[in-house]
Amino acid sequence: MDEFSRAAAVDRVERLLDTVDDDPMPVPVREVWVYGDITLGVDPIDRLDVYVTKDLLFGKDADREAEFRDAHGVQGVGKTVSAEWAEQFPEYVRANHSGHAAPEKCLAAHLLDEDEPVHLEVCNSGFESNVTQRLNGAQARGDYEQILDPRGACLWVDGTRSQDTLDKLRAGDLVLPTLPDALAMLGMDDDEAQEAATAVQRYRERQEGTSVRGDVV
């Protein structure tokens, strides 16, 4: 799949929300947002961008780590991801390059289908706060590619789904600014905002299939 129709993109988001509602998750999920193209009136949508706010586990089931390390060769189960979840969904357990369970990769494995054009952002900080954090970091480094598109819509908070927002997404009725204007509203001057928006767009155009990024703020 190379793109979604608008209707298919919203259907896909609703299936993702169903999974969050119905299944145990590797880490507690607080919020689910979408951002970027799906929040605009475009159709089709080249890439679906989803943001998940998670809680940290702080070693809730740390005493079970050895059990999963021996069974699956992955460290940190029970510390960074739920042991109960891993026991029920071992096929979704994913590790980072050092062999430790990676919450963002586990969430992506559970929530997304392989190779669909979806990007998942996972962070312990809320969407709006992380938009600011990432923007400040990008400006400090002069590297705009990792800016988080601030044009977001919150769809799910602590088990409550916003059907009104989903309906507006489906109809393309959300009214949001262009990306340069959105960045300017966050404090960038016009020239920098245009440069940053171009960098973000070029970065997105290079992405293929399913991707995931995890942040701890």
Residue 141 domain-assigned?
A: yes
Query: Which pLDDT does position 183 carry in this prediction?
Result: 97
Kind of pairing, strands 48-54 and 160-161?
Answer: unpaired
Query: Which pLDDT does position 1 carry in this prediction?
Result: 65
Query: Which pLDDT does position 69 carry in this prediction?
Result: 87
Residue 86 domain-assigned?
A: no
Domain that holds residue 127: 6-57+102-215
- State which residues of the chain have pLDDT below 50: none
The total number of structural domains in the chain stands at: 1
Residue 45 domain-assigned?
A: yes
Neighbours of 116 (CB within 10 A): 14
Query: Which pLDDT does position 186 carry in this prediction?
Result: 96
Residue 81 domain-assigned?
A: no
Query: Which pLDDT does position 64 carry in this prediction?
Result: 84
Query: Which pLDDT does position 68 carry in this prediction?
Result: 83
Residue 73 domain-assigned?
A: no
Query: Which pLDDT does position 202 carry in this prediction?
Result: 94
Residue 65 domain-assigned?
A: no
DSSP string, 16-79: HHHHHHHS--SS-EEEEEEEGGGGTT-SSBS-EEEEEEE----STTGGGHHHHHHHHS-B-BTT
pTM of the predicted protein model: 0.95
Residue 74 domain-assigned?
A: no
